[in-house]
Amino acid sequence: MNNRRKFLSQMVLLGGGLVWANQLPAKTKKDKKKRIGVIGLDTVHSQMFTKDINEGVLSDRGYRVVAAYPDGSKDIPSALKMKPDIIKAMVDMGVKIVDSIDQLLVEVDYVLLESNDGRVHLEQAKKVIAAGKPCFIDKPMAQNLKDVEAIFAYAKSKQVPVFSSSSLRYDSNVLKVKDGSIGRVMGAEIYTYAEIEPHHLDLAWYMIHGVEMLYAVMGKGCEKVIRIFHPDQELAVGYWKDGRIGSVRGIRKGANAIAGTAFGEDGIAALGPFAGYGPLVKEILDFFDTGRAPVHVEETLEIFRFMEAAQRSKKSNQYERLYNI
């Protein structure tokens, strides 16, 4: 836990989506910023994303976070503890704090759904989608696959673009590998913090950062997963249908970070470590500009199938398939 707090303090210093152009908000006048609202002030992401947009290197993109609804988790201690300080930081950046999501939606054109607790994402996302606001949903997109499927289905029915992603997907070394720096990726080994929150899939709370990195370089196509679990550490190994192998090591005791190695036909490359939120925030603003999500729906769904298969493997001590055959 101390390692995670240290990592979060370091971060302070430093998704598949859907596209329907007719649902994008109309552009505002030249002299006005496009308005973003934040839901959930119980994660440092809310503060840091806002800082990048309002005061940082992305402040010239024509967007501004103007309002925030603070409530997210109702019972996760770490989330509740950080909320007062984040509310203050948002107010100091000129962000208006509102009393309801309905009030927020009247005042903004786009939404960052940042609530720390994935259990509330389906309910909160449905309000945003019903209002026709393009929405980025921070990790975990939901507490389980069922809720993720429901969010995407509702977004499709309303023709509103949404996507979800970890910031680690846009690590500069990950992007180089995706662009072909080592040729076709034959496998990857990722390691990550692995705190577990009992109301979520084990891998969805924090190991999802590593799973996102894995999928960013490997792509879809995993058939089965086996998970080896110990209270201090664990290993989830995925077997792709074309014979490739990718793994995510979770660390709960001892030195840790989020990084890894990709193995390609033409070379071997380091992945990570975490270097800031800016690249993800840029992708989010690009998404707001175009309505085109940078992570495909089917990839996000497979990530959750991977994590659910790993959850089953923890109990069965054997390989678990992602898809029923």
The confidence score (pLDDT) of residue 10 equals: 44
Report whether 285 contacts 59 (CB < 8 A): no
Taking the C-alpha atoms of residue 292 and residue 267, their distance in angstroms, rounded to an integer, is 32
**pLDDT single digits (tens) 102-150:** 999 999 999 999 999 999 999 999 999 999 999 999 999 999 999 999 9
Q: Report the pLDDT averaged over residues 272-293.
A: 96
The confidence score (pLDDT) of residue 153 equals: 98
Mean per-residue pLDDT of the chain: 92
Beta bridge partners of 38: 68, 112
Whether pLDDT at 77 is above 50: yes
The pair phi, psi for residue 288, each rounded to 5°, is -65, -35
The confidence score (pLDDT) of residue 31 equals: 53
Q: Which domains does the chain have, with CATH numbers?
A: 15-165+277-293 (3.40.50.720), 169-275+306-321 (3.30.360.10)
Peptide bond into 140 cis (omega under 30): yes
